[in-house]
């Protein structure tokens, strides 16, 4: 042992904060769900708020992704920034 070896930092895995872990858990849950597993979603988290971005084919996938995200342990809320085709929503008649 060298004289100054005790001063070297310990080899350890990089720390992961709560938001990183929340995003990872949410992403895993979305990928394992039969409704959302093929959706093209990016997941991040900030202060316990899960942020969903990307594209989904229809309202059912959007609803499932939102539900899964908010039910993930540690999630306080969901910021849904997901895009979908225009024909996924019915036309609203203003008349």
Lowest mean pLDDT, pick from 6-10, 53-57, 62-66: 6-10
CA-CA distances (angstroms) from residue 29 to 35, 42, 72? 11, 13, 8
CATH number assigned to the domain covering 18-86: 3.30.1340.30
pTM, rounded to two decimals? 0.74
CA trace torsion 15, 43, 74, 70 (10° rounding): 180
The predicted model gives 21-34 an average pLDDT of 97
As separate numbers, helices (DSSP H) first and strands (DSSP E) second, the chain gives 2, 3
Percentage of the chain lying above the pLDDT 70 cut: 74
Around 75, how many Cα atoms within 13 Å sit in the side-chain half-sphere?
A: 24
């Amino acid at each position: 042992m060298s004289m100054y070896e005790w001063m070297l930092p310990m080899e350890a895995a990089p720390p992961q904060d709560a938001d990183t872990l929340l995003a990872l858990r949410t992403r895993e849950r979305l990928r394992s769900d039969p409704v959302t597993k093929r959706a093209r979603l990016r997941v991040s988290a900030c202060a316990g708020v899960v942020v969903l971005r990307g594209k989904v084919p229809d309202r059912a996938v959007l609803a499932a992704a939102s539900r899964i995200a908010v039910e993930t342990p540690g999630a306080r809320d969901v910021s849904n920034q997901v895009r979908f085709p225009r024909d996924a929503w019915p036309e609203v008649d203003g008349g």
